Amino acid sequence: MPKVNWVKLVIAAVLMVIVGMVINNISAMMDMRHYMNPAYCQVWSKIMMPNAGPPPIEFFCWSLGLSFIAALLFGWVYNVLKAAVPGSGVLIKGFWYGVLVFLVGSLPGMFSLYLLINLPRSLIASWTISGFVIAVVDGCIVAWLIK
């Protein structure tokens, strides 16, 4: 197994969390009509919406912490698999790594959401698109820092 440069991995994880938060917040602003719709109030977790109104600070703390852990895993897996990721340049490898993670991780999860949770198709589509963008940008960040 390749040696891990933990400093670069942590830096990559912090950058990925920032990118994810920015993209997710832009997406949330664009999809706010779904979050405010009383028909979907029961769908949201009690961590995100314990009552009507914006999410409490605890939600953002959980979100940051879990996003950081996920980003560390994303980067660590890239470190293990980087020799097998297609492409010759760093950004091309990062792009393809992001696409591959999206295809095997995010996309099946979105299919499950569509089948199991009563959410509007447009919201799931928006989450899918933002998930793709985040995965590709994260792939480029991690490939750039973990060469």
Sketch the domain layout of the chain as residue ranges: 6-145
Sign of the Cα pseudo-torsion (110, 91, 140, 137, in order): negative
Query: What is the pLDDT tens value at each position of the chain, 147 positions in all?
Result: 789 999 999 999 999 999 999 999 999 999 988 888 888 878 888 888 887 777 889 999 999 999 999 999 999 999 999 999 999 999 999 999 999 999 999 999 999 999 999 899 999 999 999 999 999 999 999 999 998
Q: For the whole model, what pTM was predicted?
A: 0.92
Cβ contacts of 91-94, under 8 Å, gap ≥ 24:
91/140, 91/143, 91/144, 93/139, 93/143, 94/136, 94/139, 94/140, 94/141, 94/142, 94/143, 94/144
Identify the pLDDT of residue 53: 73
Identify the pLDDT of residue 8: 97
Identify the pLDDT of residue 89: 92
Identify the pLDDT of residue 34: 87
Identify the pLDDT of residue 147: 84
CA neighbor of 110 nearest in space, from 85, 128, 135, 133: 128
CB 118 within 8 A of CB 40: yes
